[in-house]
Amino acid sequence: MPLEFKDIFKHNQDWLKEKLDLDPDYFTKLSIKQTPSILYIGCCDSRVNPESIIGASPGDMFVHRNVANLVLESDVNSKSAIAFALEQLKVKHIIVVGHYHCGGIEAAMSFKDYGTLNDWLENIRDEYQTYKEELDALGDGEKRNERLVELNVLEQCKHIANNPDFQKAQKEYGVELHAFVFDLNTGKIIDLEYEKIA
């Protein structure tokens, strides 16, 4: 059942009580400083909760999300998140996490007019054209969508690998880059092993 807007503050109070019952200093500790070891870049899909699927607690991950987990040279938001994570937080790992049944990927593959969203989707549509032969061979079904999800994650990793902040951090302290896909059908995370194909 979806969260009702009217229940937000009640749920917050319940959550607050639960945390304080477990540890009276929970929020004092949480407010001191964040020291995440991971930058998670994922889709803003409401079905994919980054902390839950990875088993992270607050403070474990620095999270950046957008439609279809894109990391674009022209997007100052994702570039700023990466720069902050590397320069200020010194994260050890950057993981790009796509997911099967991604609405952004499905919208891009439909080639319909989505108004304001068209500019964003154009990046995925360009990827589709790059891998058109491979994707079209899979037919019109779920397999083609899943493969474009995977290719999109790998493409975003390439963009990060070319980011000067990433290259600097890799030389300075060996930050690692990973490509994952979350399977909504099974709940499993699939490692695309970007580090082996980079």
Q: Is 45 marked as binding a ligand?
A: yes
Q: Is 178 marked as binding a ligand?
A: no
| Sequence-separated (6 or more) residues with CB below 8 Å from residue 84 | 62
Sign of torsion, CA 70 75 79 82?
Answer: negative
Q: How many CA atoms lie within 13 A of 11 on its CB side?
A: 7
CA 164 to chain centre: 20
Q: Is 102 marked as binding a ligand?
A: yes
The answer to whether residue 99 is catalytic is yes
**Residue 121 to residue 66: CA distance in whole angstroms:** 12
The answer to whether residue 147 is catalytic is no
Catalytic residue among 64, 102, 157, 159: 102
Structure tokens at 105: 């990927």
Task: Say if CB 123 and CB 70 are below 8 A apart.
Answer: yes
Catalytic residue among 44, 47, 119, 136: 47
Structure tokens at 156: 């975003």
The answer to whether residue 159 is catalytic is no
Catalytic residue among 14, 64, 99, 113: 99
Catalytic residue among 11, 14, 25, 43: 43
Structure tokens at 153: 């994650």
Q: How many CA atoms lie within 13 A of 147 on its CB side?
A: 16
The answer to whether residue 157 is catalytic is no
The answer to whether residue 102 is catalytic is yes
Catalytic residue among 45, 144, 157, 159: 45
3-state SS assignment for residue 114: coil
Residue 62 belongs to what H/E stretch?
strand 61-66
Q: What amino acid positions are annotated as catalytic residues?
A: 43, 45, 47, 99, 102
Binding-site residue numbers are 43, 45, 99, 102
Binding-site residue numbers for Zn(2+) are 43, 45, 99, 102
